Chain A
Amino acid sequence: MSASSVVRSRAGLFRPASCISRTSHFFSTSRQLRESKPTPTSDRPTHFGYETVTESVKQERVAEVFTSVAESYDKMNDLMSMGIHRLWKDHFVSSLNPGATNPTGMPQRILDVAGGTGDIAFRMLQHAHVNNGNPNVHVTISDINPAMLSVGRQRSLSLPASHQSSLSFLEANAEVLPSSLKDNSLDLYTVAFGIRNFSNMPAALREAYRVLKPGGIFACMEFSKVDKYPIFNAIYKQWSFSAIPLIGQLVAGDRDSYQYLVESIERFPSQEDFRDMIADAGFAIVGKGYEDLTGGVAAIHKGIKPL
């Protein structure tokens, strides 16, 4: 992605991608439909927040949303989640424990989908290389949006050289991963706060199943339902539908994009339904299949490809 490429923002302004900086993972980073590679089901209906649109329109509009809010991501994430998103991400990575191999130092290949800005991938490398002393862990950051990948590239320049050399970037649509990602080739597939924005989740889950080795892990962190705690749920709903769009308006100057954020969270399936979608893609589920974070505001779902 060259610095002179332009991405059209929701407000109709043109801005060079290079000025989109310091974004993060809180929103997905999978956002833009590349005209060259439409998905096979691009005219099927899906939802965009509370609206019903076709899959291709959703991809375009998701791209617009993320381009529009990119500059204020980090600030907004901290404000909206009161800093908790960092704890969630740390817990997600440490629960996966990448790089812990017997004997120490065996290679592992990880794909972080919709991970353009590198929040999860950088933590994975830190955990594997430093905590577990395994320099043979390789992480590929995949994102549909080239602007986001360039942000991740920029941020990765401040990593230690050994981490940088274990990192690669891939521009790809998670629903149709390129054939360069071979069948049964990955140990771990992660997607954090991204799958909500996919137009066709079952297709993406099937692709995850295809590229993972037998015994490989699919791990997803996404906003979920707080239905188990009615009082907390009421407070949380009030916060997300009143405060978040308002913060978006005041801090990022864009109410509509944050309205989309809370609507898309509301439309995302419950913990149990999403677990069943993972099982339908062929993964085996262990235990109840998910872990609630902060009472279910976010949830970590895991599946394992059977041997």
Chain B
Amino acid sequence: MSSPSLSRTAARLARSARRPIARHSTPTSSSRICQKSCYHSYDHPPPPGPFGTVDRSILAAAYKHIPEHGFSLRAIGLGARDAGYPDISSSILPDGQFSLIHYHLVMQRERLAEKSQELLKDASLASVNDKVAALTWERLMGNRETIHRWQEALAIMAQPSHLPTSLAELATLSDDIWFLAGDKAVDPSWYTKRAALSMVYSSSELFMTNDTSPSFLETRKFLDRRLEEVQSVGGTIASMGQWAGFTLNAGINVLRSKGVPV
């Protein structure tokens, strides 16, 4: 794996995660999804995230009230107060409590980029698949503190007005995980890998909300089983393709040997 370039990008992502984004004079794009660049560039800084300085400071302060008050307006209100804002300030957030959920998603994703460098140093993670498993597990552990509130959050994320942002965030997460794991595919598997990981991640997350085992042991097993399945299904599909190609080729050759002009 090209670890120098990977670590360089991870460092850049980490830097951007910490950089305060002053947005009050910059015109913003009308769609949040468009703000995200479509691929990871080594030569350009990533586009600014969806949060500005004011909302970032309110939501960051609200974050530590989540375990007690959930992803709620009350948590945001308490956060605004902690950050030194008057109570009315929390009404500036355009999506109410979904803003707090979105902040959690973005922050955990950015933290993953920061953490990946250290995480992937481990020599036991030889293959890309192992790295994907490690990164996915690390991201799931990002929900550890708030897992007892996560079902509420999923219900809010599934509301029609928030669903596009939630799905875009999931797609960005699986893209980031494959990128950080060093996947370089430029064939149709680019899409299937991301789709499969999105499914595996979201089902593991849902499993985790009901997991009472110590340090989420059952979730870890669940995740490993799902990733294995994806690999074995992927392997089966590849073998099927190989078999179909061989059979087709052989069939054409048989026809040619009989003098059919193909």
Contact = CB atoms under 8 A, between A and B. Distances in A.
Interface string A7-24: 000000000000000000
B92 A100 contact: no
Interface of A: 95-98, 100-102, 106, 108, 187-188, 213, 215-217, 219, 272, 275-276, 279, 283-289, 291, 302-304, 306-307
A304 B73 contact: no
A291 B85 contact: no
A102 B81 CA distance: 8
Given A279-B24, A289-B28, A304-B92, A101 B55 contact: no
A215 B50 CA distance: 20
Given A188-B88, A216-B86, 16 more contacts: A97-B90, A100-B73, A102-B87, A187-B87, A213-B86, A215-B85, A216-B88, A216-B89, A284-B53, A284-B54, A285-B23, A287-B55, A304-B54, A304-B89, A306-B24, A306-B53
6 contacts: A100-B87, A102-B78, A187-B88, A286-B52, A304-B54, A306-B54
Contacts of B94: 286-288, 291, 302
Contact of B93 (A100, A215, A286, A303): A286
Which size class do B's interface residues fall under?
A: 20 to 34
Contacts of A276: 27
B70 interface: no
Interface in B95-122: 95
B30 A288 contact: yes
Nearest to A306: B54
Contacts of A217: 88-89, 91-92
A18 to B, nearest CB: 36
B245 to A, nearest CB: 48
Given A187-B86, A215-B85, A283-B24, A101 B77 contact: yes
Nearest to A187: B88
Contacts of A279: 24-25
B74 interface: yes
A219 B93 CA distance: 12
A209 to B, nearest CB: 12
Contacts of A102: 74, 77-78, 81, 87
Contacts of A96: 88, 91
A98 B90 CA distance: 10
A286 B92 contact: yes
A289 B55 CA distance: 12
Contacts of B77: 100-102
B45 interface: no
Given A279-B25, A289-B28, A304-B92, A284 B52 contact: yes
Contact of A98 (B28, B88, B93): B88
B84 interface: yes
A306 B24 CA distance: 10
Contacts of B90: 97, 100
A216 B84 CA distance: 12
A217 B54 CA distance: 12
A285 B78 contact: no
